[in-house]
Structure 1
Amino acid sequence: MSGTQQPSSSQTQLDRAGQELVIEHLAAGYGKVQVLWDVSVRVGPGEFVAMIGANGAGKTTTLRAVSGVVKPTGGRIRLGGHDITRAAPSDVVALGLGHVPEGRELFAMMSVRENLELGAAMRPEARAVQQHTLEQVYALFPRLQERSKQLAGTLSGGEQQMVAVGRALMGLPSVLVVDEPSLGLSPLMTQTVFEALKAVNAEGVSVLLVEQNVGLSLRLAHRAYVLENGQVVKEGTGQALLADPSVRAAYLAL
């Protein structure tokens, strides 16, 4: 991790196994505006899966449907064998989903530590080991321990993104969905955040990533999906899509 000593696996071990996330023929939108028409995505236990596409393709709406913020109008979503298609967000969290939203959505007038502790609030098992998990998050992001008493709203964008990721990890997720983590970050901070996501995945947590930095996300992903106009139009391994001429022309300007 840039500027800090890379923590060992034993320091950051999150003590959980990834679950499978399956999205089947998902349709969803906002009021009368339909955004998703037919989205099918699978994240296997312990997989790192990327979802790429232009702005407005439906990537964020897909993640919001998974976490229960947007209610699907069709299709099905399963998490670890549980049907969560129309489950409340609190129930989805209880089953092991962590969501790092676009824009971070921190409580600006609360401290870094208070924001992190909120991540454990919805799960009794997370509250029971809150201090232990907090120490693991601090090992993953040492800068957050240095700024634990600082108001979240006074942090840099990169530091706020660390808090958003750490807050999701405090809930002991087995599946982590992450929306545009590099948005507004410097290349150095982007590298730091992505190294953390890679480390979390290496410890067993399943990851579904939406990210504007297509090259970086495809290099990290085991598999990836391309969304266009609310539908999956292409899928494959991260390396295969990185080498795909149509993907390179559309998203990498190559």
Structure 2
Amino acid sequence: MSQRIQGQELVIGGLAAGYGKVQVLWDVSLRVGPGEFVAMIGANGAGKTTTLRAVSGVVRPGAGRITLGGRDITRASPSEIVALGLGHVPEGRELFPHMTVLENLELGAALRPEARAAQQSTLEHVYSLFPRLSERASQLAGTLSGGEQQMVAVGRALMGRPSVLVVDEPSLGLSPLMTQTVFGALKAVNEEGVSVLLVEQNVGLSLRLAARAYVLENGQVVKEGSGAQLLADPAVREAYLAL
């Protein structure tokens, strides 16, 4: 990640998905262009996390199609999708608490040969984004603060040298200062060429960063536009910004 990444296009078309007999998504379609920063906003339960889980193969779609760089990944396994260049920063971080920071980061490079080959240089780049992780490299992940754990979660995804990064609620539980640190890293990664699809509760910050954005309600896309357009939209401002 110390050199520019060629971001891939992520396209979701007509996606339906859920858990068992409970359907969460109905006909969701969206696109993240190569190197684009796209936000997805909506209330709790709107289907944002389920969309990201479907993209990364954790949830199997009931209908629709997902492509990554033109390749159909709708039925691919999570490991196959990671190998094709997708990185996922999950809600709740999902670190291995009894492993060190370094060990957690190294796991991120395990599934891609090119990531393993460039592991040391990528690690140095992650440390440049999050210097505190270098200081905490030998510390158990479970003993870190919430903000530090979020840094590890983002860094672990970046260790796979993704061309597309999907990020779920990175500011959840973080202080304003730590939120700015994490978002600054996401912006820097996007400027290096990585395509980013962000789900985030901080709607104002998300829309200011995103080139484009989608609004999900009850498992469906109900609005889309540039970040600036949605930030100025009266309905969005009333529903998500309390303005």
TM-score interval for Structure 1 and Structure 2 normalised by the shorter chain: over 0.9
Task: Say whether residues 1:224 and 2:213 are aligned partners.
Answer: yes
Structure 1 position 38, deviation (Å): 1.1
What is the aligned partner in structure 1 of residue 145 from structure 2? 156
Q: How many residues align?
A: 243
Q: Deviations over 1:33-88 (max 9, x none)?
A: 00000110100000000000000000000000000000000000000010000100
The one-letter code matched in structure 1 to 2:15 is L
Which residue matches 1:70?
59
Q: Map 1:203-222; keep pairs closer than 5 Å.
A: 203-222=192-211
User: What amino acid does structure 1 have at the position aligned with 2:214?
Assistant: Y
Q: Deviations along 1:68-125, whole A, 9 cap, x unmatched?
A: 0000000000000100001000000010000000000000000000000000001111
The answer to whether the Cα contact below 8 Å between 2:100 and 2:140 also exists between their aligned partners in 1 is: yes
Q: Secondary structure of 1:37's partner?
A: strand
Q: Check whether the contact 2:5–2:194 (CA below 8 A) recurs between aligned residues.
A: yes
CA distance in 1, matches of 2:230, 2:2: 31
Q: Does 1:187 align with 2:176?
A: yes
* Higher deviation after alignment, 15-24 or 55-64: 15-24
| CA distance in 1: counterparts of 2:113 and 2:46, whole angstroms | 36
Query: How many angstroms apart in 2 are the aligned matches of 1:209 and 1:134?
Result: 23
- Written as runs of structure 1 = structure 2, the 5 A alignment for 1:128-167 is 128-167=117-156
What residue in structure 2 maps to residue 3 of structure 1? none
Return the TM-score normalized by structure 1: 0.95
C-alpha deviation, 1:14, in angstroms: 4.2
SS in 1 for 2:231: helix
Q: Which amino acid aligns with 2:66?
A: I
- The match for 1:199 among 184, 188, 202 is 188
Moved over 4 A (4+): none
Q: For residue 45 of structure 2, give the secondary structure of its aligned residue in structure 1.
A: coil
**Backbone CA RMSD of aligned residues:** 0.7
Instruction: Tell me the distance in 2 between the aligned counterparts of 1:95 and 1:108.
Output: 27
**Matched residue SS, 1:68:** coil
Q: Deviations over 1:102-154 (max 9, x none)?
A: 00000000000000000000111111111111011001110000000000000
Distance in 1 (alpha carbons) for counterparts of 2:4 and 2:154 = 17
Distance between the aligned counterparts of 1:206 and 1:78, measured in 2?
14
Tell me which of 49, 54, 59 is aligned to 2:48.
59
Does 1:95 find its partner at 2:64?
A: no
Name the residue aligned to 2:106. Answer: 117
Q: Displacement, 1:15?
A: 3.4
Name the residue aligned to 1:24. Answer: 13
One-letter amino acid matched to 2:242: A
Q: CA offsets, 1:176-224, max 9 Å, x none? A: 0000000000000000000000000001000000000000000000000
Aligned match of 2:234 in 245, 250, 254? 245
In 2, the alpha carbon distance for the partners of 1:44 and 1:230 equals 22
Equivalent pair of 2:9/2:32 in contact (CA under 8 Å): yes
1:200 maps to a residue whose letter is V
- Please tell me whether the aligned partners of residues 14 and 136 of structure 1 are also in contact (alpha carbons under 8 angstroms): no
Aligned to 1:92, the other structure's residue is in SS state helix
Cα distance, 1:180–1:14 mapped onto 2, change above 3 Å = farther
Give the superposition deviation at 1:16.
1.5
| Secondary structure of the corresponding residue to residue 189 of structure 2 | helix
The alignment partner of 1:50 has SS state of strand
Match of 2:161 in 1: 172
Uncovered stretches (5+) of structure 2, i.e. residues with no partner? none
Q: Give the AA of the match of 1:124.
A: P
